[in-house]
Amino acid sequence: MASVAEQRRSKIITELSRAKSLRVNDLSDRLGVSEVSIRRDLQILEDIGLLKRVHGGAVAIPDQKVGEALSTRWYQNLEKKESIGCAAAAMIQRGDHLIIDSGSTPLQVARHIAPELLASGNLTVITASLPIGREVGSHPGVHLILLGGVYLPTYDLVIGPQTIDNLKNLHADKMFLGTDGLTFTQGITTANVLEAEVDRAMVNASSEVIVVSDSRKIGVIGLASIMPLTQIDKLVTDSDAPQDFIGELRKQGVEVILV
């Protein structure tokens, strides 16, 4: 369930989609919280690319088409996702070839890549996610391969046969895989069938698969399976993960990192 702060930020995005600009004092009165809290909300929403702050308030980003699924996923459990992203990004080494999946938690991996690697790490990042491409593409230490395909505005990524074909001759040392659900019965799952097909192609192109997911996804079954849970190499999740689930996964030989 979304926290009170997450519900408030969702309301801010909804209001902004209608009004195109909002003022801090108006939001404070309307939502019944301090202006300090509203400014913190706007900072978080700007950090994840959902608005632009201006003096005294915020404005919508021109021509941005962010669907409901994207705008809500981006900031739910944000603190946990940031911690997961930081721990996962610490696994990246100089010269690595990386595949970074779409989604809010993989985006946090991209955002926490060490500055020295972004500057001169000779990294290759392969992704179908436009937000991740924008996050890392301008850094001199990153060679970005942005996959082609059919644009899916709801999730701000590309999918389809062209995306899969682009992956056929590529190889990555590590893949950071997001998920909508993790169970032993259905494995790693996602809500979109076409996205699952791309994810499977990414898994096949990778030597090591590192799943990054907050604990609320554990026990959830998405629409389409990507791979069996026991075939991943590592899971990075938060310390609220059920102990019995983590214990069984470790018995199956999967390394689990709790943050």
The boundaries of the domain holding residue 47 are 4-69
Domain match, 151 and 228 both: yes
* Domain count across the chain: 2
Q: Is the pTM of this model over 0.75?
A: yes
Domain match, 82 and 65 both: no
Domain match, 170 and 246 both: yes
Domain match, 168 and 195 both: yes
Domain match, 200 and 249 both: yes
For 93, phi and psi rounded to 5 degrees?
-120, 160
Residue 215: C-alpha distances to residues 6, 10, 170, 257 (Å): 17, 21, 31, 12
- Of 37, 69, 101, the position where a domain reaches its end is 69
Cα separation of 36 and 25, whole Å? 10
- Of 49, 69, 89, the position where a domain reaches its end is 69
The pLDDT tens digits along the chain (259 residues) read 456 777 788 788 778 877 889 999 999 999 999 999 999 989 888 766 678 899 999 998 765 544 444 555 555 678 899 999 999 999 999 999 999 999 999 999 999 999 999 999 999 999 999 999 999 999 999 999 999 998 887 778 899 889 999 999 999 999 999 999 999 999 999 988 889 999 999 999 999 999 999 999 999 998 899 999 999 999 999 999 999 999 999 999 999 999 9
Domain match, 107 and 164 both: yes
Domain match, 101 and 47 both: no
For residue 31, give the CATH number of its domain.
Answer: 1.10.10.10
For 139, phi and psi rounded to 5 degrees?
-85, 140
Cα separation of 117 and 187, whole Å? 32
- Of 69, 90, 123, the position where a domain reaches its end is 69
Domain match, 51 and 90 both: no
Domain match, 250 and 161 both: yes
String of DSSP letters for 14-61: HHHHHHSEEEHHHHHHHHTS-HHHHHHHHHHHHHTTS-EEETTEEEPP
Domain match, 94 and 193 both: yes
For residue 108, give the CATH number of its domain.
Answer: 3.40.50.1360
